[in-house]
Chains A and B, each alone.
Chain A
Amino acid sequence: MNEIVTPQSLGLSREDLPNSYIGRSVPRPNARKLVEGRATYTDDVDLPRLVHAAFYRSPHAHARIVSIDTSAALKLPGVVRVFTGADLARVCDPWVAVLAHLKGMKSAPQYPLPLERATWQGEAVVAVVAESRAAAEDGVAALAVEFEPLPAQVDMETALSPGAVVIHPELGDNLVFTRTAETGDVAGAIAAAHKVVEATFHTGRHTGVTLEPRSIIADYNRADGTLTVHHSTQAPHMMQNVFATQLRLAESDVRVICKDVGGSYGIKVHVYPDEMAVACMSRIMGRPVKFIADRFEAFGSDIHARDHRIKGRLAVDAEGRFLAFDIDDLTGIGPYSVYPRTSAVEGNQVVNLCGGPYSFPNYRCTTTVVLQNKAPTCQYRAVGHPIATAVTEGLVDLAAEALGMDPVEIRRKNLIPDDAYPCTSPAGMKFEGLSHHQSLAKLLEMVPVDKIRADQLEQRKRGVYRGLGFASFIELTNPSPFMYGIGGAKISAQDGCTVRMDPDGSVVAMSGVTEQGQGTEAILAQIVAHGVGVPVSKVRIVTGDTRTVPYGGGTWACRGAGIGGEAALQSAIALKEQILEVAGAMLQAQGSSLDIVMGEIVDKATGQARMPLSELGRIVYYRGDTLPKELSRELVQTRHFITKEYPFAFTNGIQASWLEVDVETGMVKLLEHWCVEDCGRVINPLLVDEQVRGGIVQGIGGALYEHCIYNEDGQLLTTTLADYLVPMAAEMPDMHVGHVETPTKESLLGAKGAGEAGTAGAPAAIMNAINDALKPLGAKVFAQPFTPERILKALGTIA
């Protein structure tokens, strides 16, 4: 395993080995269409007889639907039809989002549009279909919907109290799921500890804000009974199964096509009731229906995430060794668990990940997942990681302070040793190979700590408060069926790739993983070019069409490179072997004595060119009569890959944030940010660095700005981009990214995921930096986002 030839393994520069594209910053072949405005997002697709949908959304957090009067809407010019929940339920079965391996989990059946009650403000209640989106919105405005407002359960802290509003009475209470992981003797360790530090953390409910909103066109063709869905999605095959199952169609009669996607970050991997409604309406009307969410709808109906309150304790001995983590997590997920991944996974991840980078004997962590009348939450980039990392790293810094230790020293003392692998964490996570200490050492080469500490002291004398914060983290990537499949969800953890050579010697690869801008198609082209032996310019990649690409899971949990990339490598190697067999027959040589270099068949020993691939293609496809009769000549190969040894390939890393807090205004100014991460084999350093940087900035968003704020009635107050703040260019720091490479031994490629590392660690690093800055003033903050108001409150400036 892992005997893959790279320039480094041969002691060569990347340029010296023309065939090796692994580890090279090749520009993305699909980037040019993006910079010329020639991409095809779902809204750019137009179809004959297309109609547009708009939704009437509940103005109440919780209300009974008394009546729906559609008469005025139907009289408007351009309005074609109006649909209620009952209309759509005739063609669509409800879904219940639970996973069997999350013991005791429960949730209520959910329909495309609710039948009796609206359970969050922003829930789609009635649909209007019209000739244009504008006409459909006119129709929505003309609907008369009468509601009987009901008491709303907004606060997650009281969701299980005796007086709580039980959102779905048939469930008995608002408890969705709870789980405790316990190892060792936490109570004993705490009782005997030298110091115990504790804090209560909050992570703010926030959301993904894909710049391209959720987008879908469903096109049911009565003539042949097929449903074609153009969908901005991360998981085309999963959605094919969902549409088929819920709409009672054969899976083979459903085709999901996903061209360009304008950002996803986990937002576009879920089943949304309004999108299911679009499929239902097309099924009923027999014509294509388009729905593009507007920004207001996106804030109220895209999944939210990270609405957690976490109480944490860390016990340490006198030398600063960690004895026990004791964590209690509470999360409110809205009125329904989201299908099919469920909304219990984020809390479950907190249980799996707290304390993750460290070696310690005793662990207890409980998550409690409850219903509330707010928008549903589910998996968003780095699911659970930023929460677990903030709690862990916040406690680590508190312990360092209590012991008078340096934050770097306490980490060095407790990080899992680099030679301890394989090992299992107290939470039960299996680690194949991590590099915490190498990563810390690399970070310390990059961060000028002494200079920063000197500057910090100097600035404090002038009343300027700067802070340096660190955060080690682990990240779960390359998931096996242990994530969803064993719970009964039809979410594929394996992935496939078909690679073929065409007559001109060019190569086409079709993959089940998908592209949302992270560069999947670029790395697949690099891997296939490397595996076959052709210039990367000769490789074309096809993704995002369930009718043509091998069955796969798409993009989630950082699996594209590690799973999809390995399938591509194996199929490319298989194609190369087949090509060489044919070449051997043509050149009267042993296939094993030949090689393919930059699109030429060459003698392996001498490197002498023997024949271009286009000549081999010409013979195979047009003059097959000249080849030996028994020679197999299938210049197309498919391989699938699934991880088998480990449930997940964990990665690791460490971040540092250097910032300044204006103690007069409470504003945080980010000065510089560093991240060292180990995603195994780096296929394209440029793309990995950009994944890390983009991820860091999404983490910064949650730490400082982004917050879905509800009032006590369950009304969402942040429904525009002027109210909900996302990071802008002027506030962002320059970010330095470094790598350690510990390839996974599960695959030849050795790649693990890199897309979520930045988001996992950034909030914790920023929190620790703010608290480091405020240390002389005796103030601390633990509730994200760290707004000026919260910082001024911590300083006692405001009440």
Chain B
Amino acid sequence: MDRSSDQSNLATALAEARPTPREDFAEELDERVAAGFPRRPRASGTPLSGLADRLRGLSPQRLLFATGAGALAAIAVATVIVASQGPNSRPPTLNSHALQPDWRGVQFEPPAKDSSGGTAIHAPAGVAGAASGASESSGAQYGSALESAPTESPPAAAISGRAHRDIERSAEIGLLADPADVADDSAAVFNAVHDAHGIVLHSTTTSGKRAGADFDLLIPSARLGDALAAFSTIDEVGSRHEATEDITAPTVSVSEKLRDSRARIDGLLAQLSTAETETEMSAIEAELDRERHHASQLRSQLDKLEQRTEFSRVSVRIKTGTSSTDSGGSWGIDDAFGDAGHILGIAAGVTLIGLAVLGPLTLIALLAWLAQRTWVRAQRRRGLRDA
């Protein structure tokens, strides 16, 4: 018999030896195929493994599309979050509230001392009447105005067993106005400052197309809520920020140093009264001068700290052209480009940060996947070779 005939016979024999599936198995498989391979509940299956199964079933195009859509959504969300923080965002002390808040009910901690220093405060607020100039600046000496307030050393018991905290407060409020209303709004700001017994540290009012006004104010902390409420009724509130800082620790520290210094002065005075020689008296007096100077510096520091709790820094900005209710405002194509550029910049930043984080992770995952795939292939080859 020749070789080709043998081959043919062998092929025929092999075809006859072809294994065939059991009927039961074939029927069962047919049913499962017809049902679209319903997933069997796994005893140890987790939602994560189910998700992994579903992802494995996706085509590369769909997987890429889903990943891209997810990334875009993440960038959009991150952009909105970052953009909503605004350029004036401050770290943790910042508290934001809804627009047009009602500050009238807000109760701030009253200052430790009676604000009788208001007599020295009222005078600068009276500059309000001069706010109608085309462009005008006025300033008040913050330090001198505050230092002119009466000072009184806190009792020792209040320092050591302090029940309240010394809180410094500050606030910013942005008002949106028509250019024609800037002067009236500025006057209203001055009036509100006057009513709150506040101080105008600095004010700038500009008229014309780019009309606006800036005010840097000191408002007695006890009246801050009323003052902010008054500012918010002057015109549309575009933005506002509020911050607090706890300065109890430095206040207590300076107070204790001052107490110690005074004790040293008393001690030196006692020594001076018992000094017998001229040299001894001169030495004690020199020491006394130094200590008094030191005590004076501490007193000054303490005063400033206390003023920081008694008065809140408030910044009021009156802007024009961006009022949401101003249909005839000057918001135009330039502003649109500016806003678009800002948003795109934020989106690019978010994307860059995302890539910086995801890039290495993706690379590691890719390498792990390739290594696992190579290992599985090698294992399969070995299984076939060794079988």
Chains A and B belong together in one complex: no
